[in-house]
Amino acid sequence: MIKDEIIKGLKKSFKKIVSYSPKDISLEKPSNSNFGDYSSNIAMIEYRNFAIDTHSHVPGNKPGINWVNIGNNPFELATNLVKELQLDSTLVSKIEVVKPGFINFWISDEFLVSNVSDLLKKEKFDYPKYHFGKNKKIMVEFAHPNTHKLFHIGHLRNISTGESVVRILEAVGNKVIRGNYQGDVGLHIAKCLYGIRNSQFDINKLNNLQERIEFIGKMYSVGTKAYEDDENAKQEIIKINKMIYERDPEIMPLWTETRQWSLDYFNENYKRFYSHFDRLYFESEIHQRGLEISKEILKKGILEKSQGAIVFNGKKYGLDTRVFVNSLGFPTYEGKELALAEKEFSDFGDLDKIIHTVTPEQTSFFKVTFKIEELIDEKKYKNKQYHLAYEWVKLKAGKMSSREGNVIEANWLIDEVKKKISEKFKCDEQTTEILAVASVKYSFLKNGTQTIIHFDIDESIAVDGNSAPYLIYTYVRCQSVLKKASNYLTRTYDIDKLNFNLDELGVLRLINQFPEIVQQAALQLSPNLIANYLYDLAQKYNYFYQKNKILESEEKTKLFRLMLTQATGKVIKEGLYLLGIKTVEKM
RNA sequence: GAGCCCAUAGUUCAACGGAUAGAAUAAAAACCUUCUAAGUUUUAGAUGACAGUUCGAUUCUGUCUGGGCUCACCA
């Protein structure tokens, strides 16, 4: 990597002039292209370090330093560094020192072109690697809808985020396992089943999946309301809850059947959003073990008894107190989590990390369970769990709540966006479907995971501007140009000494940045970095396209511009893939 | 009461402690017999308040204001 070359060069240069070299040298890509392809602030950072040493008269800190070459200010230090800097001039074409001490590097056009040419020759993209540990294996846990409830737009944001994070982490060289933890026992299920039993409705009359899902959704609302308003109903629901936990044969058939409806329905959703899972975990399969573990660690003193429940007293760790087994003897979400972790860490061999894609109000919960797992087995669990907090999709008109029945179902939203697209543009059903899913996913992913989305159907799901259709349109535009020049595509790009204009260079430089952007996205678990990058690239390409003829230009120029076009298309397609978004070839 | 998160153009969002704070949208205008106008160009607009650290603060620290969330038997 050229970046490493520059850093190495800077280190050597430091060693030469001050007989010392900094451990970390950061090389950033400036937001303004006037400042080159890479920029380093190391002269300013190190000058401060040296200066502090001087003032505090602690010469022992950095022995043997040549103070003369440091100069009187960061700018002089930078200048001295650059004087000694030896870099391959076929890679780096220009180095500049700018006040107050930035060192800016320009990559040579030839090198940029040869990179893009390589990119087009290869099938797969070559990303810099990023791992969490030596196993190079991690699990991303996401989606987790609860059975007997709707798959709503919050889940859609979750699955979009999770799927994208998986693909990004795979790209940078990890084996990634997709996990999905679903609540299929507990009070919410009991409420739903209570509603069904109480309604006296013959569930065999429900003909298809959609009717069944609507039905259990309604019954959940009924049960929830009854639980709050009617003391008898509440007692009955608690009883049903107990029956579910104890697998009472009286409730099992209804539980099993309705649960399966949900799972079938979820599967349809996963498919529609291009996701799948290596392992579905259920609360029903782990709650027993959760109870056992809680009791085991109660004996070890990690948990304690309090008011009939088994709790964790988090005070001594600066954490909250949370209940693991309630006074009725059932494991809570916390208790179950311990069993889940045990299972997840043994099902797929050694994992470096488990990333939990869950909303932020669970922060306290995860802090506590991570801590307890660490207390149970430090080697096995410590620093191996991460809570990737993604924010809510809130309705502008008010809050979403299953109880009030104002939940926006994911499928409903996609269908609405499909209507919107087909009203505005002419395209076939298949294209509309892809564009609608793309629009919605992109609308979520272009935001940071920590941004609360204030949802409004007309404003939030953009089909123009910074949107998926814009990116896909740009891709299609590239393909269209290439198609008209198909006889050129097999020719190799032997670009020698062309004078590139600024429009071309803008696109060329951006294409070169792609692999590093993906690495950044992996590092920060931030798909939105890729989304923003793609938008930038598409904008630059469209600008170039508008101002420059491709097909009707002089032979060498034409070859080069076709190459840019091909590379742009390739990067957009790959970038969208990493976001979990499909492209179309024509629209 | 304790703790966590958030505050940037009218609105919705960007910006590893970096250089001139970027977009989209809403508004006005221009560009289609010309490689897909789902496109492009031009014009206007913002870091809640006060301190501190720093060569440099939207970013870090403190106080305040205003939102959201969590803190024992839901998941």
Predicted pLDDT at A133: 95
Interval A241-282: pLDDT, tens: 999 999 999 999 999 999 999 999 999 999 999 999 999 999
Distance A106 CA to B25 C1' (A): 35
Nearest residue for B70, CA–C1': A361
Query: What gap in Å lies between CA A344 and CA A350, rounded to an integer?
Result: 10
Closest nucleotide (C1' vs CA) to A329 is: B73
- Alpha helix segments (H runs only) across A19-73: 42-56
Closest nucleotide (C1' vs CA) to A40 is: B18
Is the predicted ipTM greater than 0.85, yes or no? Answer: yes
Closest nucleotide (C1' vs CA) to A365 is: B70
Residues of chain A with pLDDT under 50: 54-61
How far apart, in Å, are the Cα atoms of A393 and each of A390, A401, A529, A579?
10, 12, 20, 18
Distance A564 CA to B19 C1' (A): 29
CB A104 within 8 A of CB A496: no
Distance A400 CA to B5 C1' (A): 20
Nearest residue for B55, CA–C1': A100
Nearest to A578 by CA among A155, A131, A171: A171
Q: Which residues pair with A38 in a beta bridge?
A: A105
Distance A33 CA to B15 C1' (A): 15
A62: left (phi over 0), alpha (psi -120 to 50) or beta: beta
Closest nucleotide (C1' vs CA) to A426 is: B38
Nearest residue for B41, CA–C1': A543
DSSP letters of A430-490?
A: HHHHHHHHHHHHHHHHTS-TTSPEEE-HHHHS-SSSSSHHHHHHHHHHHHHHHHHTHHHHT
User: Backbone phi, then psi, for A394, in 5-degree steps?
Assistant: -105, 145
Predicted pLDDT at A18: 83
Distance A533 CA to B5 C1' (A): 26
How far apart, in Å, are the Cα atoms of A87 and each of A35, A76, A289, A357, A562?
18, 20, 60, 43, 31
Strands A175-182 and A137-141: parallel
**Protein-proximal positions, strand B, CB < 7 A:** 4-6, 11-20, 23-25, 35-41, 54-56, 69-75
Closest nucleotide (C1' vs CA) to A42 is: B18
Closest nucleotide (C1' vs CA) to A552 is: B35
Distance A105 CA to B19 C1' (A): 14
DSSP letters of A109-164?
A: HHHHHHHHHHHHH-SS--PPP--SSTT-EEEEE---PPTTS--BHHHHHHHHHHHH
Q: Is the peptide bond before A100 cis (omega within 30 degrees of 0)?
A: yes
Distance A1 CA to B7 C1' (A): 40
Distance A341 CA to B2 C1' (A): 29
Nearest residue for B35, CA–C1': A481
Distance A13 CA to B64 C1' (A): 48
Closest nucleotide (C1' vs CA) to A186 is: B75
Given strand A102-107, what is the order of strands in its sheet? Answer: A27-28, A38-40, A102-107, A92-98
Predicted pLDDT at A70: 80
Interval A298-318: pLDDT, tens: 999 999 999 999 999 998 899
CB proximity list for A377: less than 8 A, separation 6 or greater:
none
Distance A221 CA to B8 C1' (A): 40
Predicted pLDDT at A60: 38
